[in-house]
Structure 1
Amino acid sequence: MLIAVTGGTGFLGTHTAAALLRRGHRVRLLARDPATVPSTVDVVAGDVTDPAAARRLVAGADALLHAAGIYTFDSRRRDELWRVNVRGTEVVLAAARRAGTGRIVHVSTVGALYPTTAPSIGVSSPLGASREPYLASKAAAERIARQHRSAGAPIAVTYPPALLGPDDPHLGDQNARLRAVLRGLTPIWPGRGLPVGDVRDSAELHARLLDGEVSGAAFFGPGHFLSTREYLATVRAATGRALPAVFLPPRALYPVGRFADLLQRGWPWALPVQYGAIHVCATAVPVAADAPTGGVPARPVGETVRDTVAWLHATGRITVRQAGAAVRSTSDVSRRPAVPTGPGPGTGQTEEVLS
């Protein structure tokens, strides 16, 4: 099959494209810079907000993965979030529907369902009404996808958790946040918790959906719900480091997060404290036990953290001391990404998906 992909130069997109290629499919990526795309895939030059580029992308394609989106809590990028996440979804899904694309997967996020008064989220959960810019943009984008699905478009929506893992082309928000923890930049933590998953597991879910192995209207990326204490304990176990921390009620940290967002507007480097990340910890709830994951089991979170830490060290983003035991216990982490990596160590770039 020919499978069109937006966001194929980002974290989840590169892993999904690699999984599709391993299955023998042809992959066509939409990319703003074709020079960054390997010769193993077709490429259409353009941006998700360009209707002409979107039409070229889906022409003759059997399926579409719409994974393009900006994943960041950086307060300086509100307009970009709306332009790419919302307008890009309008353009791409409209093009696919007009082209009669037979199978479409729209990548949302569990955060699009926050906040909620329910104890867990599942396929019947309503969209959240958060005013946090990233979460609001993803909820608005999913609303567009649901409208197309209601009109008959063959759209499945996926809800990845916070994704960690190796081979991150642009050091996206979640891996950058783990890097900050290892560098000792986050000694104060909000309480409550967050869903965590491995990018390789969500990529496998997408490959199964696009391959037609599973079908349905909504799927959740495999993962685990961890309290922030459990998350930090996992990092401590993976590295053998103490990583001292203080835990406070998340809402008590809201003023700190808002102040950091204001400071960030005039500060040239990414700050490790963001209101959006605190807000997610304050509002997150577990995924329901019976929520569909396409039959993909979630690998142990300790394995994911170890592989991610080892990759951060292998790419020069953290030191041996910061990686600790993870660089001694992990021997099989991929050293060659599926597509060329983006900016080098220490860029602080937080775009998860760029196309």
Structure 2
Amino acid sequence: MTVLVTGGTGFVGAHSVVALLTAGHRVRLLVRDPARVPATLRPLGIESASIDVVAGDVTDPDTVAAAVHGCTSVLHAASVYSFDTRDHPRMRAVNVRGTEVVLGAAVTAGLDPVVQVSSFGALLPARQTPVTPDAEVGTPRETYLDSKAQADRVARRYQAEGAPVVVTYPLAALGPHDAYLGDQTTRLRNALRGLMPIWPRGGFPVGDVRDVARLHAAVLEPGRGPRRYLGPGRYVDTQEYLRVLRRVTGRALPAIRLPATAMLPVGALTGLVQRVTPVHLPAEYGAIYTCAVARPVDTTLTDQLLDGPTVPFERTVADTVAWLAATDHITPRQAGRLAAPRPAPFEHPVDGPR
């Protein structure tokens, strides 16, 4: 099977490329900047010569139509994932318009399956507990989450028409080898750097990026029609998040937790200030809002689909911290007992928990 992957230089996209190649698929990448491909995939053990790279933007219908030609399926992972208010215009364009263009071109070309990488955030605020993949699309009061909800409505419209669109809802993804330090990796890094002494109560679902990649390889089965899957993982309270981070690093990491609803005005004010300052401010409204409205998830369908156990949360955190230390994104002191002298090799967690 030849799979067109958008967003293949992103965190989830790059790990998914590894899983697809491991499963024996051929991969074509549609990327805005081909120069980013080697730097992103080489640390994962993939040489760019082994894949077909097409330069283009997911919002350009002509480029996308040319890219899907000759492919049998598509994994649309391109998205602007950020709670930074400076990214709002770009995420509105890419997350919604890009989904319209890519899914439209893929369905028109007869690809099967057409995989839309959404986000559990598209189902927020949660109207049921636990949250299932068939939950209603949410109406979140935050720009990034709202853009994913709008994109999800596009995908569900195609599903309602019978198109073979598969929607995955990754949880907050953590793990090693995040080439451009996405939102979740940056948040963990900021905690280790002492930049997050205050946390909201509540929590959010978290999954290992390598398990998300396994899910994307597993759903590439034609002829099964429309389907939806929550990403693998589980709900983690912020208290547990901090407790695990302290345990794997051996550090005290002092922090206080306040009601998320009480912190929302601070997050909103931070967002306004963020628009006019070049320095990233860690108290993001979107992250606080997520903790306020997220609920536990039911991943039964996903667990049945995947072959083998998923990565335990503590191992995910430990692998992420070790990678941050090995690549000099944090100091040995900040990594605590997980300080490493050299970059850790990529390891797909096929052996399960340890």
- State the TM-score, normalizing by the size of structure 2: 0.91
Q: CA deviation at 1:148?
A: 1.1
Query: Aligned runs of 1:176-255 on 2, under 5 Å?
Result: 176-211=186-221, 217-255=227-265
Mark the CA change 1:153 to 1:250 in structure 2 (over 3 Å): closer, same or farther: same
Aligned to 1:349: none
Matched to 1:295, the amino acid is: L
**Equivalent position to 1:322, from 317, 331, 334:** 334
Aligned mates of 2:266, 2:92 — CA distance in 1: 25
Aligned mates of 1:78, 1:336 — CA distance in 2: 34
Aligned mates of 1:238, 1:152 — CA distance in 2: 47
Query: Aligned runs of 1:89-104 on 2, under 5 Å?
Result: 89-104=99-114
Aligned to 1:353: none
Aligned to 1:295: 306
- Two-structure CA RMSD over aligned residues (Å): 2.0
Mark the CA change 1:241 to 1:169 in structure 2 (over 3 Å): closer, same or farther: same
8 Å Cα contact 2:168/2:230 also seen in 1:
yes
Say whether residues 1:307 and 2:328 are aligned partners: no
Aligned to 1:173: 183
Aligned to 1:25: 25
Aligned to 1:346: none
8 Å Cα contact 2:163/2:225 also seen in 1:
no
Aligned to 1:348: none
Aligned mates of 1:230, 1:161 — CA distance in 2: 16
8 Å Cα contact 1:167/1:336 also seen in 2:
no
Q: CA deviation at 1:236?
A: 0.6
**Equivalent position to 1:284, from 288, 294, 313:** 294
Matched to 1:276, the amino acid is: G
Query: Aligned runs of 1:29-44 on 2, under 5 Å?
Result: 29-37=29-37, 38-44=48-54
Matched to 2:332, the amino acid is: V
> For each residue in 1:82-130, what CA deviation from the matched residue of structure 2 results, as whole angstroms up to 9, or x when unmatched?
1000000000011001111121111111111010232221022101111
Aligned mates of 1:336, 1:304 — CA distance in 2: 12
Aligned mates of 1:204, 1:289 — CA distance in 2: 14
8 Å Cα contact 2:164/2:226 also seen in 1:
no
Aligned mates of 2:226, 2:338 — CA distance in 1: 38
Question: Any gaps of 5 or more consecutive residues in structure 1?
Answer: 338-355
Aligned to 2:351: none
Matched to 2:262, the amino acid is: A
Say whether residues 1:128 and 2:171 are aligned partners: no
Aligned mates of 1:279, 1:3 — CA distance in 2: 35
8 Å Cα contact 1:110/1:160 also seen in 2:
yes
Question: Any gaps of 5 or more consecutive residues in structure 2?
Answer: 38-47, 349-354
8 Å Cα contact 2:231/2:299 also seen in 1:
no
Aligned mates of 2:223, 2:106 — CA distance in 1: 21
Paired positions, count = 336
8 Å Cα contact 1:314/1:335 also seen in 2:
no
Aligned to 2:80: 70
Structure showing greater relative contact order (alpha-carbon pairs closer than 8 Å, 6 or more residues apart): 1
Q: CA deviation at 1:36?
A: 2.6
Mark the CA change 1:18 to 1:214 in structure 2 (over 3 Å): closer, same or farther: farther
SS at match of 1:39: helix
Mark the CA change 1:232 to 1:215 in structure 2 (over 3 Å): closer, same or farther: farther
Aligned mates of 1:31, 1:123 — CA distance in 2: 29
Say whether residues 1:84 and 2:124 are aligned partners: no
Moved segments of 4+, more than 4 Å: 211-216
Identity across the alignment (%): 51
8 Å Cα contact 1:164/1:197 also seen in 2:
yes
Q: CA deviation at 1:23?
A: 2.0
8 Å Cα contact 2:218/2:306 also seen in 1:
no
Mark the CA change 1:96 to 1:62 in structure 2 (over 3 Å): closer, same or farther: same
Matched to 1:306, the amino acid is: A
Aligned to 2:44: none
Q: CA deviation at 1:289?
A: 5.4
